[in-house]
Amino acid sequence: MFRMERAVLLAAGRGTRLRPWTDETPKPLLVVRGKPLLERLIERLRRMGIQEIYVVTGYRAERFVYLSDRFPEVQLVSNPLYDRANNILSLYAVRTHLENCIIMDSDQMLRDGFELPMEMEKSCYCCAWTEQPTKEWLLTVENHHVVNCCPLGGDIGWQLFSVSFWSAADGKRLAQHLEEAYRTPELWPLYWDNIALMLHPEEYDLDVYPVRMGDILEFDSAEDLASVDLRYEVHHDA
């Protein structure tokens, strides 16, 4: 059993699929239901008692500066290579802070009433069971151990969400693998999740933390945003 001591929020990407809203505003700072997405997540983590929160920035990093003044728990970390790689280098930028850690994308929203756990038996990803076709990453689990990951989706399995929990041992291991990835530019196009789920699965004993569909909302399109905030509704001319 381990207890969460810190959180990492990845916020470096351009969010190009949500243009024009992200032309000037980073996706994590888009206002949804009256508050920026990232601020909502920070407030949730503070209520949990998390006192170390690292926000990794890249695109329009200057727009995040106010956070460290508003929230004393927040430390901003820059990923200067955000536009040359996927988020694997964003996590590399905070590799020394991954022990007993929650790692999250910062463009998500947690359902009111849904609480993240503070203690875990072992490292795991938040996942929802689905028996519907999906293009999201699907995990196969046997005896509380992830045995397969399909990044192209499928018809049945545990649908992965970008919220995960890492023990001290796995956090150290993840840091080592991130350092290897940094030295290997061929790996830069990958998501950081590829490390444990596909590149070095034999070195991690991962489980899933079951959630329900709707507990964690991910926004990949204007339609996703409009489903919770009508200001993002796109009207097409007839």
- Tell me which residue has tokens 């949804």: 32
- Give CA angle at 145 (175, 193), nearest 5°: 35
Closest of 121, 194, 93, 200 to residue 151, by C-alpha = 194
How far apart CA 213 and CA 207 sit, in angstroms, is 18
Q: What is the pTM of this model?
A: 0.93
Residue 95 within any structural domain of the chain: yes
CATH code for the domain in which residue 224 is found: 3.90.550.10
CA dihedral 50, 7, 82, 220 (to 10 degrees): -100
Q: How many domains does the chain have?
A: 1
Phi, psi of 82 (to 5 degrees): -60, -30
Give Cβ neighbours of residue 64 (< 8 Å, ≥ 6 apart). 11, 26, 29, 38, 55, 57, 76
Please give the structure tokens belonging to residue 20: 């024009």
Decide: residue 186, CB within 10 A, 0-12 exposed, 13-18 middle, 19+ buried.
exposed
Using CA atoms, how far residue 187 sits from 90, 93, 190, in Å, is 13, 15, 6
Query: 91, exposed or middle or buried, with CB in 10 Å at 0-12, 13-18, 19+?
Result: buried
pLDDT number for residue 20: 85
Q: Which residues of the chain fall short of a pLDDT of 50?
A: 236-238
Domain assignment present for residue 237? The answer is no
Determine, yes or no, domain membership for 238.
Answer: no
Per DSSP, what are the bridge partners of residue 54? Answer: 8, 75
Residues 82, 90 contacting (CB under 8 angstroms): yes
Domain that includes residue 147, residue range:
2-232
pLDDT (0 to 100) of residue 238: 44
Confirm whether 183 is domain-assigned. yes
- 124 is a domain residue: yes
Tell me what the pLDDT averaged over the chain comes to.
Answer: 93
Instruction: Identify whether 216 is part of a domain.
Output: yes
pLDDT given for residue 223 in this prediction: 85
Give DSSP secondary structure letters for 132-182. Answer: S-BSS-EEEEETTEEEEEETT-BSSEEEEEEEEEE-HHHHHHHHHHHHHHH
Query: Would you say residue 168 lies in a domain?
Result: yes
Q: Report helix, strand or coil for 33.
A: coil
